[in-house]
Amino acid sequence: MTEKFRAFWLEESEGTVAGSVQSIGVEDLPEGEVLVRVRYSDVNYKDGLASIKEGRIVRDYPFIAGIDLSGEVIASEDKRFAAGDQVLCTGYGLGVSHFGGYSEQARVPADWLIKLPEGLSLREAMILGTAGFTAGMSVEAILRAGITPESGPVLVTGASGGVGSVAVAILAKLGFEVTASSGKSHEWELLKKLGAAHTISREEAQTPSKGPLGKGNWAAIVDPVGGAGTGERLKTLAYRGVLALSGLTGGGDFGTSVHPFILRGVTLAGIDSVQCPLPLRLDVWNKLATDWKPDALFAQEQAVRELPLEQLPEALSRILKGEAVGRQLVRVSAE
């Protein structure tokens, strides 16, 4: 008899997608060289989009969402992995075109997996997940451009969200003076506990400049929000400043001019966590496990909400409504 296990199963009916915890078997999983017992996943904005038809993330249902997972290898056809190895997976097609992490077992291509870096637990890896990895890549882009704490203050937008909260904690740990911008003023105290030196409103972070350039307030900006505000934020970068752009919760379009680029030599760095090359992926994850490890985030209970598979509908709804704070950790099976 085939072993059964639980999965959060998304099904479409009359143009509406609904999810529930179902019992399935390995034969229901897609092809892949490595079978993983999933311990943890998390909730990202893309997961929320995958749970609704109009999100246009998932092409065919039924489907198992979850763009992140961590767990142990059950069986592997690839010599790079052996039974018992602790692994994590973020990005690629996981939870988008390939069944994802909201399942007690997942079968995935070996090329998508990395071994859990020493210094991180399976739980911590999914408190980070794609959001934390994206924050890490944003920090990497800023440091690669030569920005240091001595260069000046750094702005983090959407700071109470997943990417933003991790970025605040990492940058503060590295010695940067961080200003955290959030539309949730009741979370400003939490942002200060994560290391923010200052907190400002969403409106303050994107106040329109009168001309092609504003006051050069920021040595760098971590921007997981996007939208019209990104164009205004570019105007406020200091000379040779960097804006690391990774999100679109504020919209997919923004307007700007060439002036910030040709008069201040600023850089707009696009952050893609999905197809990130393996050497860079490993480097960022290893730093997240060591020098960049956001201990302040892990220490704040209010920054991490842990939930079982059964509570995913509420968690997915929260992130779509912009009501999620910090990270939503999914306990897929007991560790």
In order of their start, the domains of the chain are 4-116+301-331 (3.90.180.10), 130-270 (3.40.50.720)
In contact, 163 and 247? CB cutoff 8 Å? yes
Which residue did the predictor score with more confidence, 241 or 323? 241
Q: What is the pLDDT of residue 1?
A: 45
**Both tokens of residue 11?**
């099904």
Burial of 70 from C-beta contacts in 10 A (0-12 / 13-18 / 19+): buried
Mean pLDDT value across residues 247-262: 89
Sign, CA torsion 124/128/133/138: negative
pLDDT tier for residue 334 given thresholds of 50, 70 and 90: low
d(CA 21, CA 146): 48
**Both tokens of residue 297?**
């985030």
Residue range 28-75, pLDDT digits in tens: 999 999 999 999 999 999 999 999 988 888 888 999 999 999 999 999
Which residue did the predictor score with more confidence, 249 or 80? 80
